[in-house]
Amino acid sequence: MVSVAHINLETAKRSCNRCYSFKTFRQNDDEKNICQNALKAAKEELARLYNEIRTKEETTSKQLGDLKQGKNLCMDALEACESCDKSNPLVKQILMEIK
């Protein structure tokens, strides 16, 4: 089963790559907006999962650490997207670190 967070992260990566690739052809920010919305949704889903898993007894510290790292990387990617000058696909590069 593919999680909602995974789908949003893949959408963000694709949109970032499209925004970077089409920088000379399109002057609008449609792909950038899609990327930012997907990152926000992924961050919210990871935060929800973190809070849900945190209360369970069989939860390992690795699971919590992975979710927290994913949420932090989403916040870093969102900040990079907001300040992006389209010289590199920054969001895609940041999200490659998420396992």
Q: By the 8 A CB rule, do 70 and 41 touch?
A: no
CA dist 81 and 99 (Å) reads: 20
The string of pLDDT tens digits covering residues 63-95 is 888 888 989 999 999 999 999 888 889 999 998
Q: What is the 8-class DSSP label of residue 21?
A: H
| HEC sequence for 26-83 | CCCCHHHHHHHHHHHHHHHHHHHHHHHHHCCCCCCHHHHHHHHHHHHHHHHHHHHHHC
**Tokens 């920088």 belong to which residue?**
23
The total of structural domains in the chain comes to 1
Range of the domain at 33: 4-95
Model pTM? 0.86
Provide the pLDDT confidence category of residue 1 given band limits of 50, 70 and 90.
very low
